[in-house]
Amino acid sequence: MISSLWVRLRRGFSRLLSGQSLQGRIALLTGVSVALAVIVVGGAGFIVARLSLQDQLDRDLTRIAQQVASQLATDPSTLDNYTAESLGTSSALLSVVSASGTSDHPSAQTATLPLTSGQIAIARLQSDSAAETLIASNGVEYRVMTVPFVSSSESATTYMAVAYGRPMSSLQSTLSAMWSVMVVAGLLGVVSTTIAAMWAARAVLTPVRRLSTAVKNVTQTDQLNPIRIYGRDDLGELTQSFNTMLKSLQQSREQQRQLIADAGHELRTPLTSMRTNVELLVADERSGMLPPGARADILSDVAAQLGEFTALVGDLVALTRDDHLQRPHEPVMLADVVHASVARAQRRGPGIEFEVATDGSEIMGDPSTLERAITNLLDNAVKFSPANGKVRVRLEEGVITVIDAGPGIAEDDLPHIFDRFYRSDRARNTPGTGLGLSIVAHTVEAHHGTVRASNHPDGGAQFTMRLPLVALHETADEDE
């Protein structure tokens, strides 16, 4: 029964919270928590105060009852001398109980206390005093303390008890006033705390609202505007992370737009040329307009354009694909990658001499993308080196240097050499897509390295690729 009631209460409270905003939930939970705390603390305080006041009343009753008992034990005939004023309050009542079960009271006393078996037992047994709450003959509730005493005379010894009582009205009025104060103070505390919780929740949740507004703006307006950071707390860090994400999205969007624009421009040329050649072949199929041998030349031109188109698409895919970020990096011996790249470059430039020197540099990376990037550097060196030229390749402490024997790079072209589709005046008539060096920069950046182009003092272009080496402690851990 209790468990089912608890389940129903919990479900009802959950439904109540589910319909509130986060600010409302915080305020409601705070108000409920404070209300429970006020009820527990107030109830405990009220009980302690009630017991303390009643104990104080019982001690006062015991003190006066003992005084009366000591006087009556000496002279029982003085009972009528006790008036309301002499008993300390005008509403006090007094009675004397005998062991035989009779009771007597002062003659001036109009109301009487009821005779109870407990009072008779105390008189007979002369046991310890006892307190009880009784209704007097006037209908008023009294707190009564009964104290035993013995009256001795020459003829006999009589066992008796004194019952002394005061009205409970003063105690109850004090407790009622205390209860009213506690209820009012508790309600004020709950209301003020709930209002303060709502204000605090509103202040705390302001950055969250800004984030929510920013997300809505991004969805509705497609504007990736950063959010102002108002502090260095957890919400400030969350805002900073959100701004970083927005910046990354903005950069990615700009790169995507630039790539689409550049790709559209670069793909249009081979597609237009291929379309023209195909139309010539279709027209020749109908009319035989081409001279002998021209058809074969056009087909060779189409094959070359298809190869150029395939290379361009492959470079675009390699440049935009981020699968190297998804694949885990592994320890890579750069010397093996360099020698594999040199072997591929030698097949493309059979007349070029390669002078290679490597060391045991080891990095964390993706071997396939690194080999493609180094191969692009070597292909670029082969492209601009004269027949029977020499390409020097050095690997030392994670730094790969490629020096060709070509004319070098113009100073105006150096800042743009790694831009997508950038082709210098010297490279206008050379084959290629204009994306090879961009792929190099993209790959090196993904491996947290740097690449730089310059002119060698002895002539020729020089490309320097720096990649971070594996830390010594990481190598030691792997060996273990």
Q: pLDDT class for 329, splitting at 50, 70, 90?
A: confident
Pairing state between β 450-455 and 157-167: unpaired
Q: Same domain, yes or no, for 264 and 394?
A: no
The pLDDT score that the predictor gives to residue 338 is 92
Region 456-469: mean pLDDT is 89
Q: Same domain, yes or no, for 378 and 299?
A: no
Region 376-399: mean pLDDT is 88
Q: Same domain, yes or no, for 383 and 242?
A: no
Q: Same domain, yes or no, for 373 and 468?
A: yes
The pLDDT score that the predictor gives to residue 478 is 47
The pLDDT score that the predictor gives to residue 225 is 73
Distance, in Å, from the CA atom of 9 to the CA atom of 356, rounded to the nearest integer, reads: 79
Token couple for 157:
């010894």
Q: Is residue 451 part of a domain?
A: yes
What does the H/E/C string look like for 377-391? HHHHHHHHCCCCCEE
Q: Same domain, yes or no, for 356 and 475?
A: yes
Token couple for 310:
């395939």
Last residue of a domain, one of 320, 336, 356: 320
CATH number at residue 420: 3.30.565.10
Q: Is residue 406 part of a domain?
A: yes
Tell me the per-residue pLDDT of 114-170, one tens digit each, with 9 for 90 and over.
999 999 999 999 888 899 999 998 899 999 999 999 988 767 788 999 999 999 888
Q: Same domain, yes or no, for 89 and 143?
A: yes
Q: Same domain, yes or no, for 355 and 466?
A: yes
Q: Is the pLDDT of residue 101 over 80?
A: yes
Specify the number of domains making up the chain: 3
Where are the alpha helices (H) located in 288-352, listed in sequence order? 294-320, 323-326, 334-348
Q: Is residue 216 part of a domain?
A: no
Last residue of a domain, one of 129, 149, 170: 170
Furthest C-alpha separation in the chain = 167
250 lies in which domain range? 234-320
Distance, in Å, from the CA atom of 480 to the CA atom of 477, rounded to the nearest integer, reads: 5
Q: Same domain, yes or no, for 389 and 434?
A: yes
